[in-house]
């Protein structure tokens, strides 16, 4: 009986969830055809099983609901969906927009997606799901736009800033980005506590290897340099690892490899509560001579430490802002409140604009 259930759930899944996925259908329909071709006896057996099942199914008080079967079976399909598959399916103009999220951040993901959809760039978005719940939820609503690079992260650990779980979560970013570069794509990485107010791609001027934004909150002149800023008190610059654009060049790959090395050299410890940003800055500093780097304009890509804290500056630079980052604040609820206060929490009123709908 359980193998029959399995079969049935796979069919149910293949007929709705996977409609848009090019690779899935054949796999799941073949076994049915093979079974039926063995003759009418088997068909009769199947039919009678179906009847029996129809009678007893409603009385089954086990956790084995149709729903869990469905998500389990669709999960087994998406488990085999690899980063190369997903990148090939999602990339437009050889370019991907990538984020990495765990289930707790789905509201932020949706908020970010609404803002991207308003710039008509959502088709390029690939969500790197850190847990299976995220993988299923995104792909159920938006087939093919989420991928999980194993291993999956343990849910509870993943979203506390400064925790080892958070470090593990962010430490995998450069690996994912390097793999995408090795596959030959341009990639824009964003944290999902960001909101787009305009299309950032026109700002990725020239043919540099790596584009990034400063996380320093002091106001710079409009004509500030586009080079890597000089090191600060800690001996390294304060570039944000939250928004990075990379071209698939040897220079960009070198920065990712160096970043991975730096994270390995200085892994998480209770005392330091590291996140991945210092490692990124050491990597930039140490490769600056070999890599063509471009600091994006502050007016377009301000740190949250400036945008949310200096009304004068915001007024002076009105109409020039492109991506707003909700950082320089700790805590899930505080971030949501701040976005609401500034009219940037879009999920309450505009969820229908998201490719995921209300989530
Ligand atoms: C495709 O990418 C190139 C180079 O990055 C860019 O100049 C061009 O505008 C893009 N075209 C579209 C349709 O997005
Ligand atoms: C983080 O990664 C380390 C090393 O891979 C592992 O030993 C540890 O259990 C992980 N911790 C969490 C909370 O995910
Ligand atoms: C920016 O403009 C000021 C005033 O015109 C000038 O002195 C300065 O050298 C410029 N800086 C850069 C980095 O071009
Ligand atoms: C806020 O912005 C104004 C206008 O750009 C600038 O003159 C001032 O120094 C900024 N204040 C702080 C605290 O950075």
Answer whether 107's CB lies under 8 Å from 333's CB. Answer: no
Beta partners for 323? Answer: 196
Under the phi-then-psi rule, with left for phi > 0, alpha for psi from -120 to 50, and beta for the rest, what region is 185?
Answer: beta
What would the two tokens of residue 17 be?
Answer: 């969830």
Measure Cα distances from 348 to 133, 256, 331, 353, 357 in Å: 22, 37, 19, 11, 11
| Alpha-helical runs (H) found in 172-269 | 173-182, 250-265
Tokens of 53: 């099942």
Looking at ligand 4, which residue's alpha carbon is closest to its atom 13? 310
Q: What pLDDT, in 10s, does the model give residues 230-267?
A: 999 999 999 999 999 999 999 999 999 999 999 888 76
Whether residue 293 contacts residue 228, with contact meaning beta carbons closer than 8 Å, is answered with yes
What is the residue extent of each domain of the chain? 2-79, 83-353
C-alpha distances out from residue 118 to 121, 191, 318, 326, Å: 8, 18, 19, 19
State the CATH class of domain 83-353.
Answer: alpha beta
Q: Return the pLDDT at 126.
A: 98
Mutate to test the pocket of ligand 2, among 131, 154, 168, 275 (most ligand atoms within 8 A of CB): 168
Closest C-alpha residue for ligand 3 atom 7: 223
Q: Which atom of ligand 3 is nearest to the CA of 223?
A: 1
Between the CA of 238 and the centroid of ligand 4 the distance, in Å, is: 19
pLDDT of residue 201: 98
5 lines ligand 4 (CB under 6 A): no
CA dist 272 and 355 (Å) reads 39
> Which pLDDT value is given to residue 164?
73
Please name the residues in contact with 293: beta carbons below 8 A apart, sequence gap of 6 or more: 208, 209, 210, 211, 212, 227, 228, 284
Chain-centroid distance of CA 208 in Å reads 24
Alpha helix segments (H runs only) across 18-101: 24-36, 40-56, 66-79, 83-90
User: Over its length of 359 residues, how does the chain's per-residue pLDDT go in tens digits?
Assistant: 333 333 333 333 333 333 333 333 333 333 344 444 555 666 666 666 655 555 444 444 444 444 444 555 555 789 999 999 999 999 999 999 999 998 999 999 999 999 999 999 999 999 999 899 999 999 999 999 999 998 887 655 555 666 776 677 678 899 999 999 999 999 999 999 999 999 999 999 999 999 999 999 999 999 999 999 999 999 999 999 999 999 999 999 999 999 999 988 876 666 555 578 999 999 999 999 999 999 999 999 999 999 999 999 999 999 999 999 999 998 899 999 999 999 999 999 999 999 999 98
Ligand 3 pocket, residue 222 CB under 6 Å: no
Q: What is the pTM for the complete model shown?
A: 0.78
Task: Let me know how many helices (H) and strands (E) the chain has, helices first.
Answer: 15, 9
Ligand 2: atom nearest CA of 169 is 14
- The per-residue pLDDT for 150 is 87
Rg, Å, the chain Cα set: 23
Q: How far is the CA of 114 from the centre of ligand 1 (A)?
A: 22
230 within 8 A of 237, measured Cβ to Cβ:
yes
Distance CA 207, CA 159 (A): 35
172, two tokens: 């995998």
Indicate which atom in ligand 3 lies nearest the CA of residue 222: 1
d(CA 132, CA 122): 22
Is any atom of ligand 3 closer than 6 Å to the C-beta of 225?
A: yes
d(CA 211, CA 293): 6
């Amino acid at each position: 009986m359980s193998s029959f259930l399995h079969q049935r759930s796979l069919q149910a899944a293949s007929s709705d969830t996977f409609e848009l996925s090019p690779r899935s259908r054949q796999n799941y329909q073949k076994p049915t055809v093979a079974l039926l071709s063995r003759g009418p006896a088997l068909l009769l057996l199947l039919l009678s099983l179906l009847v029996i099942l129809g009678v007893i199914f409603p009385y089954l008080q086990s956790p084995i609901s149709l729903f869990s079967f469905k998500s389990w079976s669709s999960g087994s399909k998406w488990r085999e969906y690899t980063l190369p598959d997903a990148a090939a399916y999602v990339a437009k103009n050889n370019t991907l927009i990538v984020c990495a999220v765990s289930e707790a951040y789905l509201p932020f993901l949706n908020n970010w997606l609404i803002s991207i959809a308003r710039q008509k760039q959502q088709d390029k978005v690939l969500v790197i799901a850190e847990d299976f719940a995220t993988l299923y939820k995104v792909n159920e609503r938006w087939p093919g736009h989420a991928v999980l690079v194993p291993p999956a992260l343990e849910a509870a650990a993943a979203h506390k800033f400064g925790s080892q779980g958070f470090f593990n979560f962010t430490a995998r970013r450069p690996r994912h980005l390097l793999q995408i570069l090795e596959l030959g794509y341009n990639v824009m990485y964003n944290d999902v506590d960001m909101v787009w107010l305009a299309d950032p791609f026109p700002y990725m001027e020239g043919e540099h290897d790596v584009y990034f934004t400063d996380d320093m909150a002091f106001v710079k002149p409009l004509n500030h340099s586009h080079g890597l800023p000089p090191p600060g008190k800690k001996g390294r610059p304060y570039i944000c690892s939250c928004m990075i654009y990379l071209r698939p060049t040897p220079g960009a790959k070198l920065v990712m490899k160096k970043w991975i090395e730096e994270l390995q050299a200085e892994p998480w410890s209770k005392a330091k509560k590291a996140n991945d940003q210092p490692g990124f800055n050491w990597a930039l500093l140490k490769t600056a001579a070999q890599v063509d780097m471009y600091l994006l304009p502050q007016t377009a890509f301000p740190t949250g430490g400036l945008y949310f804290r200096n009304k004068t500056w915001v007024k002076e630079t009105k109409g020039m802002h492109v991506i707003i980052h909700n950082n320089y604040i700790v805590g899930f609820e505080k971030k949501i409140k701040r976005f609401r206060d500034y009219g940037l929490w879009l999920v309450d009123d505009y969820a229908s604009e998201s490719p995921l709908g209300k989530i």
